[in-house]
Structure 1
Amino acid sequence: MIRSKTRVDKLLDDFPIFDGHNDLPSMLKNLLNNDISSFNFSEDLTQSEFFRLSELIKNSNLKDAVEKTLEQIDVIHKLVDDYSDDLVLATSSFQVEEAMKNGKIASLIGIGGGHAINSNLAILRMLYKTGARYMTLSHMCNTPWVDVSDVEVGDGSVYPGVYGLSEFGEHVVIEMNRLGMMVDISHVSTAAMRHVLRISEAPVIFSHSGARAVHNHPRNVPDDVLEMVRDNNGIVMIIFYSCYLINNCGINNRGTIKGRSLI
């Protein structure tokens, strides 16, 4: 047991571990109304539950999406400041490496849904300036410029599908490439996955997706797309949530699981 722990500790020292999709900031909004002063993370959460986390934001509502996104980015900055002994905000690979050398957790900001830019490239650029370094192009429903994966189970909601990306959607990907902001294509439709991979000039990521060949879930990645990711030098960050691995949840025609939205 001691030898195994020593080996694990050495691996953790030598190789970084990334949690590509973490819902902590949205939970802070839902449970604490963003008042992090009322919760002591060091005492009220164990290290294994908190101090392994990278900080991302997720916002599933279209109404006031820009404002809500900025609120959660503000919470991330406050959290990193309050727990600076353990966390450090990272906006580059160099800063991630420096955090690792200093024994800290590199905390990165991602945008969990393209509705957060309100179809405006200026807002995308400003979110980048706040520290955001990836954006998931869709989340729970279509935007006017990209299809969500739920269209494959009969529901895109709010906006009609564009069968991949619209012309504006292509501009979003191109601008993200120019900025150095990673394009995340978890949650998008298969047509959108293929469309992004055809036009992106930079490696893309799937921040939390499984393999369609393992389980035919609409958010999982088909084999041909996995091959495109390989050719793109991109990465698929695997997910352990059981609904992506086995048929134990039951997806109805609105893409929901047991009465609540797919995560």
Structure 2
Amino acid sequence: MILALLLAAVPAPAPDTVPARVDRILARAPVIDGHNDLAWELRAHQGGDVTAIDRDGGALPHPLQTDLARLRRGHVGGQFWSVWIPPEVTGPRAVEMTLEQIDLVRRMVDRHPRDLARAGTAAEMRRVMRGGRIASLIGVEGGHQIDGRLSVLRQYHALGVRYLTLTHTRSLAWADSATDDPISGGLSPFGRRVVAEMNRIGMIVDVSHVADATVRAALAVSRAPVIASHSAARALADAPRNLPDDLLAAIGARGGVVMVNLYPAFLSTDWRGWDRARTDYAKSVGVPADVYGPRSPAPLIAWDAAHPMPRVTAATAADHVEHVARLAGRGGIGLGGDYDGINGTAPADMAGVDGYPALFAELARRGWRDADLAGLAQGNILRLMDRVEALARPTDPADDAIDPLAR
């Protein structure tokens, strides 16, 4: 009797709170983010100083959204570091600048061996994450960076590049961009050879930034599943950079993964309209439009006070995650925040790379199962990488095409 009373007095274990549940899931399956532009920010605004991520990036004179402490707080366990160069840089200089940025990423990783480690395969990513470090890979963000040469593509792969975004904001002779007039009608014959060579060497085809016709052509040509490394749902925010429902479904049906972008202009039609009006005003008074918050030019601070920014939150991002999951399947969804490539903007409660738990908490409250949250965090992109690697045929003869028209 006494024992029964004592047992009755012991409180039952409390069920997981949402934050505790999210921490538990992400401790086991940390986020693999598909796109982060820190490398260019370090080059453009930090003098190439790879130790800038040791400090609080938000407190720097030119703030960053990424630093080591926030990567840890955000449960980021794997990162595709974007190697981007401006799309107007073409020819041999594009290759040189890309190599400089690859070198910057490699130096950054090697400078921080307790926190970061290079990885080139899904197995290596798993090993690095099990060891408590952040697995670091590279993505090249634009086909202009290969200068029309498959040999350059192959050498990027040898240096650790694991995906190529077929275009950036400008159409190429061999692939059309979502934000430029078409040239090739999707993919030219050389563009199809680029995709085929990527399949052969085990490089992931990335269809973010490209025109709808280019996505369709890439899906038709590629033997391996493709990713959209940083895109969202056009049905929810009508931006040409987002993907329409039929392509979300087609990517998922072929085993691909759509990694949701966190740029407010791609998440909210209201924010996009506000930003367009703000940009028009900035042009009319001769100040830069791509600065937000207290660092904005005085005319924009006044304009912002009179025109409050529409609120975008983790719930807005969760709407896109759920929409993509409905079309591509819960195995076809991932995250590619585009941090440090979105002019310091982001959902209000996800201002930096430490914001991912807020998104997972929102999805947990909406009823997502642990397994689906773990798939979103890393399982889906790791499965895709396994498949890309399995379909590679590196011992087949290399395609040595050089297309002078594609330069």
Q: Evaluate the alpha carbon distance shift between residue 50 and residue 230 of structure 1 in structure 2; reply closer, same or farther with a 3 A threshold.
A: closer
Instruction: Find the residue that maps to 1:116 and give its secondary structure.
Output: helix
**Equivalent of 1:31, from 30, 42, 45?**
45
**What is residue 272 of structure 2 aligned with on the other side?**
249
The runs of 5 or more residues in structure 2 that have no matched partner are: 1-13, 58-66, 283-288, 291-340, 343-407
Query: Paired residue for 1:232?
Result: 254
1:240 partner SS: coil
Which residue of structure 1 lines up, in the alignment, with residue 53 of structure 2?
41
| Structure 1 gap ranges (5+) | none
Query: Match for residue 167 of structure 1?
Result: 189
Cα gap change, 1:35/1:42 in structure 2, threshold over 3 Å: closer, same or farther? closer
Cα shift at 1:115: 0.5
Distance 1:243 1:68 in 2: 28
TM-score, normalised by the number of residues in structure 2: 0.58
After superposition, give the CA deviation of every residue in 1:211-248 in whole Å (9 maximum; x if it has no partner): 11112210111111112112210000011211112222
Q: 1:24 to 1:135 in 2, by over 3 A?
A: same
| Residues 135 and 184 in structure 1, CA contact (< 8 A), matched pair in contact too | yes
- What value does the CA root-mean-square deviation take over the aligned residues? 2.4
Cα 1:194–1:40 shift into 2, 3 Å? closer
Cα distance, 1:48 vs structure 2: 4.7
Matched position secondary structure for 1:207 = strand
Structure 2 equivalent of residue 16 of structure 1: 30
SS of the aligned residue for 1:144 comes to: coil
1:138 Cα deviation (Å)? 0.5
The answer as to whether partners of 2:46 and 2:52 remain within 8 angstroms in 1 is no
Amino acid at match of 1:170: R
**CA displacement, residues 56-89 of structure 1 (integer Å, 9 cap, x when unaligned):** 2111232321111100100111111110100001
- Distance (Å, rounded) in 1 between the aligned partners of 2:102 and 2:281: 28
Query: Which secondary structure does the structure 1 equivalent of 2:144 belong to?
Result: helix
Alignment-derived partner of residue 56 in structure 1: 82
Which letter maps to 2:262? F
Shift of 1:161: 1.4
Q: How many residues align?
A: 250
Aligned to 1:127: 156
User: Is the alpha carbon distance of 1:5 and 1:224 closer, same or farther for their aligned partners in structure 2, counting shifts above 3 Å?
Assistant: closer
The aligned amino acid for 2:211 is S
CA distance 1:257–1:194, change in 2 (3 Å): farther
Q: Assess, with a 3 A threshold, how the Cα gap between structure 1 residues 223 and 40 changes in structure 2: closer, same or farther.
A: closer
Counterpart contact for 2:42–2:52, Cα < 8 Å: no
**Amino acid aligned to 1:20:** G
Query: Over residues 238-262 of structure 1, what are the superposed CA-to-partner deviations in whole Å (9 max), with x where a residue is unaligned?
Result: 112111122223487xxx99755x9
State the partner residue of 2:211. Answer: 189
CA distance, structure 2, for counterparts of residue 18 and residue 68 of structure 1:
26
Higher relative contact order (CA 8 A, sep 6+): 2
Superposition deviation, residue 9 in structure 1: 2.4
* Greater helix content: 2
Max Rg structure: 2
Deviation at 1:13, TM superposition (A): 2.1
